[in-house]
């Protein structure tokens, strides 16, 4: 299963929150939005991994 990470970026004096999975990333202005998205993504990836293992 891919690792979901949250990274803090500084751009133009503003703090941005980046959710990363592998090489893909999505950037948010709000920490809460980034955390909510990361949590949902983590749950979805876990569910997909579990579904794939049960199919095998």
Of 24, 30, 23, nearest to 8 (Cα)? 30
Single pTM value for the model: 0.82
Mean pLDDT confidence for 10-33:
96
pLDDT of the residue at 51: 85
pLDDT tier, 28 (very low <50, low <70, confident <90, very high otherwise): very high
Q: What is the mean pLDDT of residues 29-35?
A: 98
Across 10-28, average pLDDT? 96
CB 33 within 8 A of CB 40: no
What phi and psi values does residue 16 have, to the nearest 5 degrees? Answer: -120, 155
Q: Answer whether 53's CB lies under 8 Å from 40's CB.
A: no
More confident residue, 28 or 1: 28
Arithmetic mean of pLDDT, 10-18: 96
Q: Say how far apart CA 52 and CA 48 lie, in whole Å.
A: 6
């Amino acid at each position: 299963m891919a690792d979901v990470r949250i990274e803090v970026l500084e751009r133009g004096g503003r703090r941005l929150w980046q959710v990363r999975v592998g090489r893909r990333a999505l950037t948010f202005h709000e920490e809460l939005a980034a955390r909510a998205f990361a949590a949902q993504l983590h749950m979805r990836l876990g569910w997909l991994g579990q579904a794939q293992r049960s199919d095998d």
